[in-house]
Amino acid sequence: MKKLWIKAFEVIELRHNRGARVPMPELEDAAHVFEAQRVVECEVARRLDGRLTPAQLQSLGDLAEAIRLLGKFHHAPTWMHGNLVFGRLLNGLLPTTSLLMARFKVESSQVCVAYRHVDLISALARGPAPAATEMRKHLAALERSMVDTPVQGRSLPCEFSRYRLLPPQEIP
């Protein structure tokens, strides 16, 4: 069995007298990363189900913003919930997910599809309980979209920029 990529929370690895590098997860690491992401994001969605204010739903529903800053969309519910630990966990998971997607995602599809975000917003507004199910579907679709071998010639900075980390005060 291959050694598990355990530096899931490190975006940059600093190596003594050797500089810095971005650790590259392998496809088999994806199951662990997505499992952790499902635990955090589905639990946050479950706790927010039917409890968001109209202003919060509107901020999530701004599709132009959601498409431009997909990582911000995934962070926003954790800050709305108020548990900063969930936000810190996502600070580690989202860049790792982005690295996995940059390496293994099918070329013809977006990293994170906006229609799933719309479905999640709708589920959050309805309550009770469908939001966690919708988040689980969204993350499962992302996980299923990866291919068995790394995709060559893709620009990591372009893919990685989708998940810029934002402090809570910058999230509407």
CATH code assigned at 55: 1.20.120.530
Extract the tokens encoding 112.
Answer: 């994170």
| Tens digits of residue pLDDT in 5-62 | 334 445 677 788 888 887 788 888 889 999 999 999 999 999 998 899 998 888 887 7
| Tens digits of residue pLDDT in 111-138 | 576 677 888 888 988 876 789 999 999 8
Q: How many domains does the chain have?
A: 1
The range of the structural domain enclosing residue 98 comes to 24-147
Asked, for residue 171, whether it belongs to a domain, the answer is: no
Extract the tokens encoding 81.
Answer: 């919930």
> Which residues lie closer than 8 Å to 161 by C-beta, 6 or more apart?
none
Asked, for residue 35, whether it belongs to a domain, the answer is: yes
Q: How far apart are CA 90 and CA 168, in angstroms?
A: 12
pTM of the predicted structure, to 2 decimals:
0.71
Q: SS3 breakdown of the chain: % helix, strand, coil, rounded to 5?
A: 65, 5, 35
Asked, for residue 42, whether it belongs to a domain, the answer is: yes
Asked, for residue 130, whether it belongs to a domain, the answer is: yes
Length of the chain: 172
